[in-house]
Amino acid sequence: MSDDTIRLVTVGRILRGRWRLLLVLTVLGALAGYGASLLFPPRYTTSASVLLPGAWEERELLTQQEIATSSAVTDRAAAALHWSGVGGKDLRRRVSARTADGNIITISGTASTPERAQQLADQVARQFVAFAAQVVNAGTDSDAAAQLDTLRQMVVQTSRRITELADAADPGRTVESVQTRTELEKLRTSLREAITKLDQADPTAGKATMVVMGPAARPSGEAPPTRWQLMGAGALLLLLLAVLGQLAAARMSRRLRTAPEIAAALGSPLLGTVDVP
């Protein structure tokens, strides 16, 4: 292997001397990229956003993100779209979800046309909202909810009875009447605080129904890699490989260059050197 250092001058010499070959290889690389673009049809991607009202923890948002791309949602979306030969398993590979600031889940759909990409993102978002609402309703204990409603009614009736007792007491004419009205008001306040705590303990309290924040925008351009990107990548890759191959060939040249190498190859001592202008 030659010990000559590869400099930019060497690269420039290769480009000047082999530019026709490099140009042909660049064109071939572009054609290879064009052929690859025919094997991979163009794809279009768009997104729909779903708002989750209320207070949500980070782990809860991550759970909802997984639900948005689950088979339960994509199967429903596939049944609603009625695309020929496309099932829920195929849609699951084309759908992705991510969480954003403000309790927003962004659902992205990828398809072969802008119209289908828009339909896919919108349909998955709608099915996700419907499935999440169904899960919440199914997970709520109906007996517990009925008991909570009964308790609220009892508190309302008790509050009315307290009002009647307060009105029946001698309004402020004696110390005993004042104490009685004070105790009744404390009891009313305690009942209201108890109902407030029960409402806060309800797992569905403060979490309203999810909302789809408008339809997905129709994509105006292909998702990367586009055909031009594949052609440019193919041309650049083949050009770099050709230049690297020429540099490697120059480094691997077996031509004898120095006087000691020539003397060793001939097996005779070095008598002298002659400078050739």
DSSP collapsed to 3 states, the chain: CCCCCCCHHHHHHHHHHCHHHHHHHHHHHHHHHHHHHHHCCCCEEEEEEEECCCCCCHHHHHHHHHHHCCHHHHHHHHHHHCCCCCCHHHHHHHEEEEEECCCEEEEEEEECCHHHHHHHHHHHHHHHHHHHHHHHHHHCCHHHHHHHHHHHHHHHHHHHHHHHHHHHCCCCCCHHHHHHHHHHHHHHHHHHHHHHHHHHHCCCCCCCCCEECCCCCCCCCCCCCCHHHHHHHHHHHHHHHHHHHHHHHHHCCCCCCCHHHHHHHHCCCCCCCCCCC
pLDDT of 158 reads 76
Task: Provide the pLDDT for residue 1.
Answer: 41
Please tell me the predicted confidence (pLDDT) of residue 222: 81
Count CB neighbours of 66 within 10 A.
Answer: 9
- Which pLDDT score is estimated for 4? 46
pLDDT at 254: 60
- Looking at residue 2, what is its pLDDT? 44
**Given this model, what pLDDT does residue 102 score?**
78
pTM of the predicted model as reported, rounded to 2 decimal places: 0.56
Low-confidence ranges of the chain (pLDDT < 50): 1-4, 205-206
Residue that is written with structure tokens 């351009």 in the block: 221
